[in-house]
Structure 1
Amino acid sequence: MSGGGATLVLQSHAPAALGPWQRACLDSVAAWAADRGHAYRFLDDALFDGIPGWYMAKCRDHGRMATAADLGRLLRLREALEAGAERVVWLDADVLVIDPSRLALPEAVDHAFGVEVWVQPGADGRPKARRNVHNAVCLFRPGNPVLDFLIHGCLRLVEALKPENGFPPQLCGPRLLNALHPLVRFPLIETVGMVSPLLGADLIGRGDGRALACWRRAAADLPPPAALNLCASLHGRTVDGVLCDAAYYDGIREAAARLTG
């Protein structure tokens, strides 16, 4: 892979599986990259090149291909740096840029990850928010020690899994990052957030407004989001009482700007 120097933005998805709302997400990122003068590259199944067969087999057997993608993106990011990119950025294929003028990358760091405010029902049924580090957006520069460490961590975590103990979701993505963040304090990209189903329902008029109010309180110290991960992995499922169907995603695409006000 040719890195091309300067900043390279990478995204990946199986093209045949893309719906209209997700194509709009990809187009928004490509347009933002072009406007900023960043190189842009879209990958398909090349995302999984170089992942050991045993790792892929465990992910397939347990329905955790997202964990294969977590390692794949790290390998592609490292590959791009080795090919000459001065900075390489990953954005998930379900990230929608809603305010490109404010989607700026931190300059004085050699690695960074996104931060989200996730709203879901608490034990009492009321919306509760928690803040998480996520890898729907991440950036790396050459020579940083974090990228190789995370690749090593992914391999060790999956290698150590025993079939009888199951395979936790998000093991090599947010779960790993959030285990490390309290100790090492990763630099954060604060303008790429995430829409949980409960928050999404409020945005499109299916909810009672409490999740949106909860989100606003919990995110009050963060800048308004310039981009949002819409969580395509939930497509077709009912989560926290919210059906994440095509109409749901189309509605969020149209209403996402409400979070910037």
Structure 2
Amino acid sequence: MTGTEAMPPGTVVFQSMPEARQPWVDKCMTTVADWARHHGADYRTVGDAGFFAKIPVWVLERCDTWINPATDLARLLTARRLLATYSYAVWVDADVVVWGGDFLPLPRPLDAAFARERWMEHWPDGRLRFLDNVSNFVCAFAAGGSFLDRHIADVLAAIRSATGPLKMGVAGTSLLTRGYPRETFELLDGIGNFSPALERALATGAADDVWAYEAGLTRPLVAANLCLSHEDRPFQGVAADAATIPRLVDTLAARRGPLWPSELIGRKSHVRPA
């Protein structure tokens, strides 16, 4: 299927975000809505009341440090409800910006699909560290598939059995990356995850760091998650610059095709991923 072919009827793209949010988040969500409609899918936003309506109280009580485990579960429960009337339900985090929608087909998995994530951070000694993860900032499910119900049960079990304060990815990235063989679901490429470390590298023009991230990509990017969860928290001891993400959103939303991250700093790498 090419990027310009419309999806068959019965696909919904859905998102959720509190009413109080930064303007740049609205801009991201607009790019997702445009992408969905361009490919012939319905687009829905779900308010907090409906999004968290089916979350068990004990789950919310455990999410006193990070809300992410509750939202990880909420997107799955919402997808299951939507699949009563749609053939495919596609979740996209509110902080995902799409700039190459023509080149990003809407996922139509046989069962389930999740984003392939290359995560960039630093070791304590300052060296770069990269993790090859599976993440749910974009995920899709097919009606009649078996994985969604299994995953909901696994998420509840992971939240229930975790000791101490719940970590951010206990029901999301950590579970998806280490809890299942990779062949369990389809992996979506071309959607980056711009960690705070990568965002700082882009903002400061740290070409070596950007090239190191880029070297592990399988293709140029057409969308990216911008890590809203870390916006108001220091990451690895470094506080976020409030202007970095809004500037990045403006730059990316103005693009119309695939790009390598080094193009954002005007320092194209001479060595492209194989």
Same fold (TM over 0.5): yes
Q: How many Å apart are 1:241 and its aligned residue?
A: 5.8
Structure 2 length-normalised TM? 0.84
What is the DSSP-based 3-state SS (H/G/I as helix, E as strand, rest coil) of the residue aligned with 1:246? coil
1:144-163 matches, within 5 Å, as 144-162=145-163
Query: What amino acid is the match of 1:191?
Result: G
What is the DSSP-based 3-state SS (H/G/I as helix, E as strand, rest coil) of the residue aligned with 2:260? helix
Q: Calculate the aligned-residue CA RMSD, in Å.
A: 1.9
Q: For the residues of structure 2 that align with 1:153 and 1:134, how far apart are their CA atoms? A: 15
Q: How many residues align?
A: 248
Q: Contact between 1:81 and 1:142, CA under 8 Å: does it hold in 2?
A: yes
Q: Contact between 2:13 and 2:36, CA under 8 Å: does it hold in 1?
A: yes
Q: 2:80 aligns with which of 58, 78, 81?
A: 78
Q: Contact between 2:109 and 2:186, CA under 8 Å: does it hold in 1?
A: no
Q: How many Å apart are 1:207 and its aligned residue?
A: 4.8
Q: Does 1:13 align with 2:17?
A: yes
Q: Contact between 2:16 and 2:51, CA under 8 Å: does it hold in 1?
A: yes
Q: For the residues of structure 2 that align with 1:255 and 1:108, how far apart are their CA atoms? A: 31
Q: 1:212 aligns with which of 210, 215, 223?
A: 210
Q: Contact between 2:36 and 2:106, CA under 8 Å: does it hold in 1?
A: no
Q: For the residues of structure 2 that align with 1:252 and 1:37, how far apart are their CA atoms? A: 28
Residues 1:7 and 1:56: Cα distance change in structure 2 (over 3 Å): same
Q: For the residues of structure 1 that align with 2:211 and 2:251, how far apart are their CA atoms? A: 15
Q: For the residues of structure 2 that align with 1:37 and 1:193, how far apart are their CA atoms? A: 24
Give the gaps of 5 or more residues in structure 1.
Answer: none
What is the DSSP-based 3-state SS (H/G/I as helix, E as strand, rest coil) of the residue aligned with 2:167? coil
1:197-251 deviation per Cα after TM superposition (whole angstroms, max 9, x unaligned):
12112222x25222201111111xx121111000001112332465423301112
- Partner in structure 1 of residue 4 of structure 2: none
Q: For the residues of structure 1 that align with 2:106 and 2:94, how far apart are their CA atoms? A: 18
1:81-100 matches, within 5 Å, as 81-82=83-84, 84-100=85-101
Q: How many Å apart are 1:186 and its aligned residue?
A: 2.3
Give the gaps of 5 or more residues in structure 2.
Answer: 1-8, 264-274
Structure 1 length-normalised TM? 0.88
- Partner in structure 2 of residue 224 of structure 1: 220
* Sequence identity (%): 33
Q: 2:59 aligns with which of 55, 59, 65?
A: 55
Q: Does 1:40 align with 2:37?
A: no
Q: For the residues of structure 2 that align with 1:159 and 1:243, how far apart are their CA atoms? A: 31
Residues 1:39 and 1:21: Cα distance change in structure 2 (over 3 Å): same
